[in-house]
């Protein structure tokens, strides 16, 4: 029995570091994976004025035809809003912009948007209940006052989508990691399974030399320790509370979730983050997943079943 052929590549996409690992995949698969993620970014980025998302956001009240990929991720984002009872909300776009996150994060940090003393507080986000989807012709209609940011679900769904496509194209195994949201399936380079290291910068000293091990499924991480910037005199972060439109105030530093799909893991990290260290693990258990909530002091609050994946 010969050892499996393992190919891997890392690159930047969707404002994040991405990494693809393939086992016994057809020639050219890594380049096709890179091109596919680039194409999804061109559809879903809120920073590209000609993306499908930007064109949709610019046409409130009018039906807009979108590609199948874009329709599907919007449908999933709305489902996620319902699943989390609004804790995950893709309509945070205007609130995110009001906090100065209106360009790539590196540009925001290099030249922050000055605080507008006369600017209106965005308040609670509008939610998804008035968005109209027509699956027959792939039309999406956003009501006035509603714009979308797919950043809280797009990376996970992109990982899910790409792994399915790579496996269907003949790969024996695939791992796609987009900004810490990843999906794995099939044969892994190590016979014991796919291993995912826990970064002590996000998970504290207890994470040193610890890894998660799984054979198939998705893992997502949300932390307020990395995507921070200055707005006015305050340091803010990208995990917004939909009830206020402001960076969430929580005693939680980081949440990691293991689920069947990366998009589901991704949206539940947001919900557990808002629930806080006491209620977050129970929320994950109610949703049929497992994970870990890490407090500001570095204390680990695991949900039931998390230790089964920890090595």
Give per-residue pLDDT as tens, 212-226: 999 999 999 999 998
As a whole number of angstroms, the distance between CA 171 and CA 164 comes to 10
Class of domain 49-141: mainly alpha
Residues of the chain with CATH 1.10.3980.10: 49-141
Q: Is the pLDDT of residue 1 over 60?
A: no
pLDDT digits (tens, 9 = 90+) for 157-166: 999 999 999 9
**Token pair 């129970």 in the structure block, residue:** 282
Give the whole-angstrom CA distance, residue 203 versus residue 223. Answer: 9
Helices and strands, counts by H and E, the chain: 8, 17
Distance CA 132, CA 263 (A): 21
What digits encode the pLDDT tens for the residues 226-284?
889 998 888 999 999 999 999 999 899 999 999 999 999 999 999 999 999 999 999 99
In the predicted structure, residue 289 carries a pLDDT above the cut 70: yes
Strand runs labelled E in 6-50: 6-13, 16-23
Q: Which pTM was predicted?
A: 0.94
138 vs 159, 271, 296, CA distance in Å? 22, 28, 43
Res 119: pLDDT: 57
CA separation for the pair 41, 38 (Å, rounded): 5
Q: Given strand 181-186, what is the order of strands in its sheet?
A: 6-13, 16-23, 173-178, 181-186, 217-223, 252-259, 290-295, 300-302
CA 187/CA 194 separation, integer angstroms: 9
Q: Where in the chain is the domain with CATH 3.10.520.10?
A: 6-41+153-309
Q: What is the mean pLDDT of the chain?
A: 95
Tokens of 177: 């990691």
6-41+153-309 CATH pick, 3.40.50.720, 3.40.1160.10, 3.90.79.10, 3.10.520.10: 3.10.520.10
Q: pLDDT at position 116, please? A: 63
12 is written with which tokens?
């930047």
Q: Are 208 and 220 in contact (CB under 8 A)?
A: no
Instruction: Name the percent of the chain lying above pLDDT 90.
Output: 89
């Amino acid at each position: 029995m010969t050892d499996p052929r393992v190919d891997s590549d890392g690159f930047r996409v969707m404002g994040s570091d991405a990494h693809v690992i393939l086992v016994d995949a057809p020639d050219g698969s890594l380049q096709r994976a890179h091109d596919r993620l680039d194409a999804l970014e061109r559809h879903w980025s809120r920073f590209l004025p000609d993306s499908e998302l930007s064109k949709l956001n610019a046409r409130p009240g009018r039906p807009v035809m979108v590609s199948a990929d874009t329709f599907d991720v919007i449908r999933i984002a709305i489902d996620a809003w319902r699943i989390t009872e609004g804790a995950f909300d893709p309509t945070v776009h205007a609130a995110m912009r009001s906090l100065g996150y209106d360009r790539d994060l590196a540009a925001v940090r290099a030249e922050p948007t000055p605080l507008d003393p006369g600017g209106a507080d965005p308040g609670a986000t509008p939610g998804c209940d008035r968005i109209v989807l027509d699956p027959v012709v792939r039309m999406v209609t956003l009501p006035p006052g509603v714009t979308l940011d797919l950043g809280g679900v797009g990376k996970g769904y992109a990982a899910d989508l790409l792994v399915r496509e790579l496996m269907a194209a003949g790969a024996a195994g695939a791992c796609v990691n987009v900004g810490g949201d990843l999906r794995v399936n099939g044969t892994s380079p190590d016979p014991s399974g796919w291993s995912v290291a826990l970064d002590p910068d996000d998970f504290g000293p207890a994470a040193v030399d610890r890894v998660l091990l799984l054979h198939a499924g998705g893992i997502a991480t949300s932390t307020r320790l990395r995507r921070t910037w200055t707005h006015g005199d305050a340091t803010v972060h990208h995990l917004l509370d939909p009830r206020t439109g402001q960076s969430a105030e929580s005693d939680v530093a980081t949440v990691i979730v293991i689920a069947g799909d990366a998009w589901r893991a991704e949206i539940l990290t947001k919900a557990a983050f808002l629930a806080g260290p006491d209620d977050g693990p129970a929320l994950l258990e109610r949703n049929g997943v497992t994970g870990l909530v890490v407090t500001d002091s570095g204390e680990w609050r695991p949900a039931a079943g998390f230790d089964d994946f920890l090595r």
